[in-house]
């Protein structure tokens, strides 16, 4: 597949031919389930012209059906473009197809989608990760040049790792969330999923920057990262030993080999312990579900989307939500409502916010003496469908990613090895808040070292 860097140099006629080629490839690989709508059967496919970028189904594209892969939003047509879509269009890129995802971004496998699951392009018996599984599978299978996803607790990095591509979660506030269907507002962040690190930097440059429509957007001048990419910078990198040693043997070995590659490139590697691991999952799922409970209260059958046929308002609320939301969304909303309820707010939610501050402090203490952290993205490579049926076990699989969102830090997933089954293993590089440049520089160096 042509890279994003190369695609940006194509003529208008070449871009048109590329779009037609992608449509045919998507049709031929429909069983993958990466896209829920390729827009090949409507005039909307040509509404936007430009270099085609796959879009996760929770990012608003004007006049498209955007449903967050939920039954409750069937029939909803986006009335406006998200800020990131406007930025794509201004740069000569264009949205191209809606990619599959876990319903309202709640999940790690893309199995909770109303439209059905997405398959891992490396092994169709295994999950592609989630919630941006469709975006990652599309890029990994060569059905997209690049894609946009969203990351609330690892939802860009984990599927990118499972599907063998690069996934970059920018610092919280670097990319506008205006037009992103909210799951957890203090954690959500839009970011790129690409074939390589340079493409990730290019797409990040295009979508980043202050936005007055987003009150959480960082209000300062944005310095583009791609032109300044420098894989030859010498960085101090902290290998998180306890996270790495707790991963399975193949992941552990791959991370240590990645550390050796970075060391041979002239970077200083030191081993550290990150003490926040036991608090991260609990704090994340309390805060995320609490915010989800508030954010998803707007889906009540009154304003948009599905409405149950009822005789009174109370039944309409209950039946609309009961019929419209899937089991995982209901589970998280109930948990969020519980931790916010009278008598439990102090016991759970306030303690989770204190744990969040502790986690941010733990990262800061390591980053005081290091430019980057190095550790796995996941404890293991992509697992088989149905292997993690217990929701609690599925939640625990996010242990290496959720704390990054709690601290608001930039992080990237870079493929570094294949396991015995031919599945991708990725390393995760994490930087200090708004030090996205160092993350991209270190990732580019790692990518180049492992290709040589």
β-pair type (93-99, 146-150): unpaired
Percent of all residues in the chain with a pLDDT value above 90, rounded to a whole number: 86
Closest CA to 182 of 99, 297, 281, 93: 297
- pLDDT computed for residue 40 by the predictor: 47
pLDDT digits (tens, 9 = 90+) for 325-345: 999 999 999 999 999 998 899
The mean pLDDT value of the chain amounts to: 94
pLDDT digits over 375-421, tens only?
999 999 999 998 877 776 777 788 999 999 999 999 999 999 999 99
pLDDT digits (tens, 9 = 90+) for 38-89: 654 445 556 788 999 999 999 999 999 999 999 999 989 999 999 999 999 9
pLDDT at position 452: 65
Query: Average of pLDDT values for 211-215?
Result: 96
Quote the longest CA-to-CA distance of the chain: 71
pLDDT at 222: 84
Strands 93-99 and 51-56 turn out to be parallel
Distances from the Cα of 100 to the Cα of 4, 161, 403, 430, angstroms: 21, 17, 25, 27
Please give the domain boundaries of the chain with CATH numbers for all domains: 4-230+407-451 (3.90.1300.10)
Q: Which residue do the tokens 């910078």 mark?
A: 233
Token representation of residue 143: 């059905």
pLDDT digits (tens, 9 = 90+) for 282-321: 999 999 999 999 999 999 888 877 888 888 988 998 999 9
Q: Alpha-carbon dihedral of residues 214, 215, 217, 222, nearest 10 degrees?
A: 90
Mean pLDDT of 146-152: 98
Instruction: Report CA torsion sign: 50, 52, 56, 57.
Output: positive
Partners of residue 374 on adjacent β-strands: 239, 429
Catalytic residues: 56, 131, 155
- Enumerate residues 6+ apart whose C-beta is below 8 A from 25: 142, 143
Confidence tier at 224 by pLDDT (50, 70, 90): confident
Taken in order 343, 332, 154, 96, the sign of the CA dihedral is negative
Measured between alpha carbons, how far is 124 from 24 in angstroms, rounded to an integer?
20
């Amino acid at each position: 597949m042509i890279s994003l860097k190369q695609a940006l140099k194509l003529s208008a006629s070449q871009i048109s031919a590329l779009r037609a080629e992608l449509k045919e490839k998507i049709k031929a690989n429909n069983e993958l389930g990466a896209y829920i709508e390729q827009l090949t059967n409507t005039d909307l496919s040509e509404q936007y012209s430009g270099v085609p970028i796959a879009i996760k189904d929770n990012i608003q594209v004007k006049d498209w059906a955007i449903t967050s892969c939920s039954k409750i939003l069937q029939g909803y047509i986006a009335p406006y473009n998200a800020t990131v879509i406007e930025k794509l269009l201004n740069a000569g890129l264009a949205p191209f197809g809606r990619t599959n995802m876990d319903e309202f971004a709640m999940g790690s496998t893309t199995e909770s989608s109303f439209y059905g699951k997405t398959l891992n392009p490396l092994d169709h018996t295994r999950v592609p990760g989630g919630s941006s599984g469709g975006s990652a599978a599309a890029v990994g299978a060569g059905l997209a040049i690049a894609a946009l996803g969203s990351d609330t607790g690892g939802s860009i990095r984990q599927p990118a790792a499972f599907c063998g591509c690069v996934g970059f979660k920018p610092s919280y506030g670097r990319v506008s969330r205006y037009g992103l269907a909210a799951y957890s507002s203090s954690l959500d962040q839009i970011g790129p999923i690409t074939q390589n690190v340079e493409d990730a930097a290019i797409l990040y440059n295009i979508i980043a920057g202050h936005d007055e429509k987003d009150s959480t957007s960082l209000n300062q001048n944005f310095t583009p990262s791609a032109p300044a990419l420098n894989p030859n910078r010498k960085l101090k990198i902290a290998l998180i030993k306890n996270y790495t040693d707790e991963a399975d043997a193949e992941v552990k070995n791959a991370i240590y080999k990645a550390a050796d590659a970075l060391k041979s490139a002239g970077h200083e590697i030191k081993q550290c312990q990150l003490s926040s691991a036991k608090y991260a999952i609990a704090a994340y799922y309390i805060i995320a579900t609490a915010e989800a409970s508030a954010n998803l209260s707007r889906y009540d059958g009154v304003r948009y989307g599905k409405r149950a046929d009822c005789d009174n308002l109370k039944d309409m609320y209950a039946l609309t939500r009961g019929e419209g939301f899937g089991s995982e969304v209901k589970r998280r909303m109930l948990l969020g409502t519980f931790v916010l309820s009278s008598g439990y707010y102090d016991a759970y939610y306030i303690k989770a916010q204190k744990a969040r501050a502790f986690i941010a402090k733990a990262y800061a203490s390591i980053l005081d003496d290091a430019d980057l952290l190095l550790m796995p993205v996941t404890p293991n490579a992509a697992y088989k469908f149905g292997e993690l049926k217990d929701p609690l076990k599925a939640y625990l699989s996010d242990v290496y990613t959720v704390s990054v969102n709690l601290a608001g830090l930039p992080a990237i997933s870079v493929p570094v090895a294949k396991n015995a089954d031919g599945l991708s293993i990725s390393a995760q590089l994490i930087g200090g808040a708004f030090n996205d440049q160092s993350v991209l520089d270190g990732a580019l160096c790692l990518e180049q070292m492992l290709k040589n």
